């Protein structure tokens, strides 16, 4: 199971709805975590950052709106897209939902197909490699659907770990990743791997990227980690 499957947090108090939604997301290849209340969702968010949050508006205790407000006011979570799910269809509520920073808004009952399309559309912006987009950086092209990588139109041979490292880098060129963040994203948080393993695979990635010549595009940032470009 690849560690770079997109992670979704489903916050829904009604168990039947929560399970149907989770089942559909898992069938689409998502890794799903579930919360029944707003408080539980905020606790989970302190331990783990999902790639997207599906958030029911009407929750017992802390409302979906309040959860959304908190998610969008914290530096660590504010970039996570939030799709609000609501049975309330009044325009004023839609506006209120978007004002709290929700990225999208879906009215219940929704069609699963439509919801999945909205989810993918949010992820196309934040996790393009996870939804099969083609990424490019200078002369390097990575096709996350076919797992093919080329540089200056020549195919590159990459191991599976190097491929995941490269797709992580190519989603956000210039961003500096710490070794811990790379471990989390590329290897998954459930596996214990020494941070030196990251250095070994970065070395292999560099070699692979230069197998037909060209400059080394991976930058070592002293005391911080690695970046592409």
Query: Where along the sequence are the contacts to Ca ion (CB under 5 A)?
Result: 13, 56, 58
* Least separation in angstroms between CB 148 and Ca ion: 43
Specify burial of residue 38 (Cβ count, 10 A radius: 0-12, 13-18, 19+). buried
* Least separation in angstroms between CB 109 and Ca ion: 13
* Nearest residue to Ca ion, scored by beta-carbon proximity: 58
Specify burial of residue 107 (Cβ count, 10 A radius: 0-12, 13-18, 19+). middle
Cβ nearer to Ca ion, comparing 66 with 184: 66
| Residue reference for tokens 């302190």 | 46
* Least separation in angstroms between CB 105 and Ca ion: 15
* Least separation in angstroms between CB 33 and Ca ion: 18
Cβ nearer to Ca ion, comparing 10 with 52: 10
Cβ nearer to Ca ion, comparing 56 with 104: 56
Cβ nearer to Ca ion, comparing 58 with 112: 58
* Whether the Cβ atoms of residue 18 and residue 36 lie closer than 8 Å to each other: yes
DSSP string, 90-107: -HHHHHHHHHTT-SEEEE
């Amino acid at each position: 199971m690849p560690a770079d499957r997109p992670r979704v947090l489903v916050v829904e108090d009604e168990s039947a709805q929560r399970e149907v939604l989770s089942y559909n997301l898992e069938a689409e290849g998502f890794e799903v975590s579930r919360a029944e209340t707003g408080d539980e969702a905020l606790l989970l968010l302190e331990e783990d950052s999902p790639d997207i949050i599906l958030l029911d508006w009407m929750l017992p205790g802390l409302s979906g709106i309040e959860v959304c407000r908190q998610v969008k006011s914290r530096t660590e979570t504010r970039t996570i897209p939030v799709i609000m799910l609501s049975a309330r269809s009044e325009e004023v509520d839609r506006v209120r939902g978007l004002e709290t920073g929700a990225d999208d808004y879906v009215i219940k009952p929704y069609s699963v197909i439509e919801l999945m399309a909205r989810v993918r559309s949010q992820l196309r912006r934040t996790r393009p490699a996870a939804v099969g987009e083609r990424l490019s950086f200078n002369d390097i092209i990575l096709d996350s659907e076919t797992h093919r990588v080329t540089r200056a139109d020549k195919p590159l041979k990459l191991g599976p770990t190097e491929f995941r490292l490269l797709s992580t880098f190519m989603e956000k060129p210039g961003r500096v990743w710490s070794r811990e963040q790379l471990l989390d994203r590329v290897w998954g948080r459930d596996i214990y791997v020494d941070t030196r393993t990251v250095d070994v695979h970065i070395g292999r990635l560099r070699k692979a990227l230069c197998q037909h010549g060209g400059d080394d595009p991976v930058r070592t940032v002293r005391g911080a980690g690695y970046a592409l470009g």
